Structure 1
Amino acid sequence: MRYNINGRLIYDATDGTLILPGNDEADSQLSITASALLWFFLRHPEIVSRDEVLKKVWDDNGLTSSNSNLNQYLSMLRKTFRHYEIDNIIVTVSRGLLQLNPEITIHPLDAPAPPEPQVEPPPCEEPDAESPATRQSPKPTRHARGTCWYIAGVCLLTIALLLVLFSFFGSSESRPITLTQMTHSQCELLASDEMLRSVAGTAYGKNFDAVRQRLKLECKPGERFVFFYGDRLETNGLGRVFLAHCAMHEDNPFSYCDNYFYYSWKPQ
């Protein structure tokens, strides 16, 4: 589902991308949680409580909800849309109540899918009256009951043996990833030892800046980045790219992170 927001921006709810009108490529992309939050308000433009937002966006998706998380992602959405000259995409009506800004025009670009037809169950037919002799079913013999228990026991034993074999041969020892802090501009850049062994430090920093600047992320004090990519020389690109933009809060070095993953990153 796509939406034209205030005639300045097209939001694609399927992948959280923001596209300028008249362009085919995405100008930026919201994180998964930020996109889910915006998608909720687009479907519920009325005034809603903070508790309902926390339940629908966080709790129902198996995430830990808190007012701090909600405030952080509300601030991120407002900051992102302010970049496109759309102020206060979500407004605070009163204490504990939020609403999609009613002054902003929202136009759905894709027609909603028609509701699936409901199949009515066939009418139940009353069984014909039967004689007591017809309703009585023959009782299973002792030999038949013993055969059923024997088959059930063999099946359970076979399943147990398969589970033991899968757990024995399919288990693999997990290894922790060691991150090394690098000095890069004003922000903190963390890289895995395997990543640093496979590429040169100057090339790693140059590629990090290229991806960060294209995502319009600033390198400021108090912010951390974890960057990884798989080099693919035959396509003259970076291949799979992963960038985590994390913020530090008090004693927590990773208060929250926005993760960006691209299966095949192509440089501009």
Structure 2
Amino acid sequence: MVFVIDNRVFYRSEDGAIWPSGDEGSTVILTLTMNRLLACLLEKHGHVLTRNELLDSVWDAHGLRSSSHTLNKYISELRKHFVQFGIVEECITTVPRVGFMFNSDVEVRVQTQSIIEDEPRLEDEKNDAQVVKELSLVRVKHRHLPIALALTVFLISATLITLGLRVPSKDLAEVRELKTYFLFKYGSCPVYTVQRNSASLSEQKKELFTELAKENGIDCLEGASFLYQVSESYLYGNKGRAFISRCTSRNDKYISCLNNYWNGYERTH
């Protein structure tokens, strides 16, 4: 079975081959375990799979030892493959204290062999769609975010809307400037928010960020920085939303942003 992911990446579950559209020469063959994990997530596209379900079906059912640490590691590797193949959207979403799901906002379809052979046409369609998605450089008050961060800015803007925060009514595609506010350093990585941090809530925001980062294996990497936003209700242990984006760089240029969302789940103390 061949899956087409976001019209950009092809994945064949029979042998674990994954490659960018129009470039089979760049095919990567996933390990058996990673192949089973990705197939499992795609078959349940848009549905949450608990950690135990994934560990049982991917590891235990095949006589392999499993752990949450191992699962996190494989999820991280799969995310890296999608970023390398040009999908900047978060494909595999973390559901805190529950598990993971393949993002329902990322299009996934099963492809027949006859259509796979017509891949050059799909590549043209993908390029046309990409033109529509292009974003201009976003200027930030304390520093300049490169083009690689533009999508993250738009994701944060959407998150602010769901958090009930004020966002300019103009079309988001017209946004040219986003102010950020330094909150603290997580390890050596600076953490910025998109709202000014009051003295009364700053410590709670720091504690929650640290808690979420540790629980979900979001580490401070060399050259990385974070963009972070959380609703007040979530800070107080009620249902709410939180957003953490870790953006990594190489040679002073940003290469990817890993986005994590927490939506509607109550925190336990």
Q: TM-score, normalised by structure 1?
A: 0.41
Q: TM-score, normalised by structure 2?
A: 0.41
Higher relative contact order (CA 8 A, sep 6+): 2
Rg larger in structure: 1
